Structure 1
Amino acid sequence: MTLRISVWSGPRNVSTALMYSFAQRPDTAVVDEPLYGYYLKTTGSEHPGKDHLLEVLEKNADKIISKTILGFNGKPVYFIKNMCHHLVGLDESFLDELVNLFLIRDPREMLPSLVNQLPHPALRDTGLDKQLELFKKLKAAGKETFIFDSKDLLLNPEGMLRAFCSFVGIPFYKQMLAWEAGARPEDGAWAPYWYHNVHKSTGFAQYTPKNEKIRPDLQPLMDESIELYEELYKSAVKV
């Protein structure tokens, strides 16, 4: 039986590096944001390369869930990199078949980067509101889950990955800490628009504080995002 691990992230959260990390495991297959096409079609959100992506991505949520998310049984472990804001208007009962974890990032470091791809982001684009909603829903249902922070992951990759693996009940492998630079076969079709920096990486980058200014018109979004993030971070795993 395949263990299905879904990491519900937001954008610019080191989630692609985490996916690359799990792709190094001999027992694991990975998939990159399977609900992205559905999200673009449903919301009409303006994303880089949108027209091309709508041509090449699967957009039918039922097919994505039944075939891509729940249908894969090729390896003992299946790592699903998901964006939490892609859960738009879906029956979320399929989450019962997954081990659900949350990767968060301080919006003071995330938003200044996000505007490079989405110049006019809304709260939905951060994923933080949906992350908190889903975390509370799972907790109320008695489901064990795990929140970890991008900064904490970068500061201590091995320690956080060991905690992650322990939580889901799989061994940690040292090869999870490094990979070859460049585009990878697990990349989604949107990689040319989003993955420039991670394609230069050969492992988790050293944490560097971000001190970029946010545009004044985005300050209300920043304030709301910080409030959501801080509530999530209270439950984050520390190692």
Structure 2
Amino acid sequence: MASIHEQPRVILWSVPRSCTTAVLRSISNLVERGEIYYEPYYKALVGGPESESASTPAPRATAILPSAGSAYDSSIFTYAWVKKTLEAEHKDASLVFVKDFAMSLAGKVYMDHLPHGYRHTFLIRNPNKVIPSWRKCHDEWRPSKPLLDEEAKEEWHKADMGEHAGFKDLLELYQYVRENLDPAPFVMDADDLVSQPETVMAAYCKATGIPFSRKLIEWENDGSPMYAKWITCRDHLGYLNCNYHTNARSSSGFRKNEDLPKPASTSVTNPKAIEQIAKCVPYYEKLYRERFVP
């Protein structure tokens, strides 16, 4: 376990649409000399030289956006580069923090590219909330082309999300970490986090060696880009300005679900979405049993 007297190095693993960007904003608000990485493994999976799938074009012209603290070209995002970069000395940083998706490791193919010296943590969220939110995102950042019919839309969802929407990968990574790296990886649930942020973040800090501060749960929104301190790929900058990051961009702290804007209907009626949720639930439930209970 990390010591508060050492430089904490922490990775937060999740599936998309699990409030991880809000956590990253929280961490960013805490540190002045931190090195904060935004989805480096995911970029290696979908847009780097080793990618087996075509990278989705950025939905906004990144050239007109304020740059992240360090934005790199996707051509350098190999798995070896990510591992080497994360393992670098970072001698002036008070904290090194990484947010990424377990599915970025392509099953178990790239687990040998996990960086040494990091505490692996997990943020989970109920598939009943993840799947509808993720599908809604597709309507905003799907590549520009003639409107797709329902069958083509389903193919798009399936291609991007996979059969288990990353939940199977998340459980397998958790099991790998527990068996090989840390017998007690910290797991927190998004609903617990937004309903009891102080309790959950205090426990998270205790487990990782990150100094706790109320700046982690309450912060001033000064209008500057939330990713100003993040190290990421230039391609990501456009996605961070999409509508589905509005809550994270405009936030001044964690907010309960009832305080967040809601669509007209929150019920899931699409049979394909219901089917996918059912496939994800068993993996989520196994991780849920391992979570920190406030």
One fold, TM greater than 0.5?
A: yes
Please point out which of 223, 230, 235 is paired with 2:278: 223
Give the CA deviation at 1:142: 5.7
Deviation (angstroms), 1:6 = 0.2
Give the aligned partner of residue 240 of structure 2: 191
Give the distance between the partners of 2:269 and 2:190, measured in 1 at CA: 20
Out of 7, 20, 24, the residue aligned to residue 19 of structure 1 is: 24
Which residue is equivalent to 1:3? 8
Q: Which has the larger radius of gyration?
A: 2
Compared CA separation, residues 126 and 214, structure 1 to 2 (3 A): farther
- Residues 32 and 186, structure 1, Cα contact 8 Å, conserved in 2: no
Note the alpha carbon deviations across 1:36-91, whole angstroms, 9 max, x for none.
321113241664628989x9434222112211x22233312111111111112314
User: How many angstroms apart in 2 are the aligned matches of 1:36 and 1:142?
Assistant: 21
Query: 1 CA distance for matches of 2:257 and 2:170?
Result: 23
Measure the CA separation in 2 of the matches of 1:142 and 1:35: 19
- 1:143-166 alpha-carbon deviations (Å, 9 max, x no partner): 131111000000100100000001
CA contact (8 A) 1:162 1:172 kept: yes
- Is the CA contact (8 Å cut-off) linking 1:103 and 1:147 kept in structure 2? yes
Match runs of 1:102-113 below 5 Å? 102-113=122-133
Q: Secondary structure of the equivalent of 1:100?
A: strand
Which residue matches 1:77?
95
Residue 159 of structure 1: which of 175, 187, 199 is its match?
199
Q: Deviation at 1:218?
A: 2.4
Structure 2 letter corresponding to 1:117: C
Q: 1:223 to 1:151 in 2, by over 3 A?
A: same
Say if 2:221 is the partner of 1:205.
no
AA paired with 1:70? E
Structure 1 Cα separation of the partners of residues 288 and 56 of structure 2: 28
Which residue in the other structure is 1:49 paired with? 58
* Residues 125 and 228 (structure 1), Cα distance of their counterparts in 2 relative to 1, 3 Å cut: closer
Larger RCO: 1 or 2 (CA < 8 Å, sep 6+): 2
- Tell whether 2:87 aligns with 1:38: no
Structure 1 residue 124: deviation in Å? 5.8
Partner of 2:45, secondary structure, is: helix
Give the paired residue count. 237
Cα gap change, 1:83 to 1:30, in 2 (>3 Å): same
Question: Does the CA-based 8 Å contact 2:132-2:273 persist in structure 1?
Answer: no
Higher mean displacement: 201-210 or 213-222: 201-210
* Identical counterparts, % of pairs: 22
Distance in 2 between residues matched to 1:82 and 1:186, nearest whole Å: 16
For the 8 Å contact 1:33–1:82, the answer to whether it is kept is yes
Q: For structure 1, list consecutive stretches of 5 or more residues without a partner in the other structure.
A: none
Q: Secondary structure of the residue that 1:229 maps to in structure 2? A: helix
**SS of equivalent residue, structure 1 residue 92:** helix
Moved over 4 A (4+): 45-48, 50-53
Q: Of the candidates 48, 53, 64, which is equivalent to residue 82 of structure 2?
A: 64
Q: Over aligned residue pairs, what C-alpha RMSD do you find? A: 2.6
CA distance in 2, matches of 1:142, 1:74: 26
CA distance in 2, matches of 1:176, 1:16: 13
